[in-house]
């Protein structure tokens, strides 16, 4: 089944303790992205990747890191989490970053609910 898999689904952690949220897709998609969703603010992009070793900042990249060493994986790293990073996080993928004609849409993971205390 074609899917984007995020782990963990739920995570409670303490301020300052480094964590990684994993994202993996099995569709050979070139483009992957991370979003956070907060009440009243909607979904906002954190980082995106156009291909292996190619990443760029979205709207809210502060406090986050990403890496794209393999096509299928795009982990989100919080080196020193803070309570304002408590949120619902989504990973998404799409076939081609240059598909401006919009032939393909996005596939989203099921989300990771992170609480930082």
Interface ranges with other proteins (CB under 8 A) = 31, 33, 35, 40-45, 48, 50, 58-59, 90, 92, 94, 97, 99-111, 113
CB of 92 to other proteins, least distance (A): 8
82/63 Cα distance (integer angstroms): 8
Phi and psi, residue 84, nearest 5°: -75, 0
- Between CA 2 and CA 94, with CA 70 as vertex, the angle to 5 degrees is 40
CB of 80 to other proteins, least distance (A): 26
Q: 4 or 78, CB closer to other proteins?
A: 4
CB of 16 to other proteins, least distance (A): 27
Q: 86 or 107, CB closer to other proteins?
A: 107
102: region left, alpha or beta (phi > 0 left; psi from -120 to 50 alpha): left
């Amino acid at each position: 089944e074609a899917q984007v898999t995020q782990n963990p689904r739920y995570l409670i952690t303490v301020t300052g303790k480094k964590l990684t949220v994993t994202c993996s897709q099995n569709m050979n998609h070139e483009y992957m992205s991370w979003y956070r969703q907060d009440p009243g603010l909607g979904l906002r992009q954190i980082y995106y990747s156009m291909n292996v070793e190619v990443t760029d900042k979205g709207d809210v990249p502060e406090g986050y890191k990403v890496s794209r060493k393999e096509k299928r994986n795009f982990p989100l790293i919080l080196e020193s989490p803070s309570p304002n990073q408590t949120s619902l996080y989504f990973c998404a993928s799409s076939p081609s970053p240059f598909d401006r004609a919009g032939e393909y849409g996005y596939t989203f993971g099921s989300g990771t609910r992170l609480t930082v205390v």
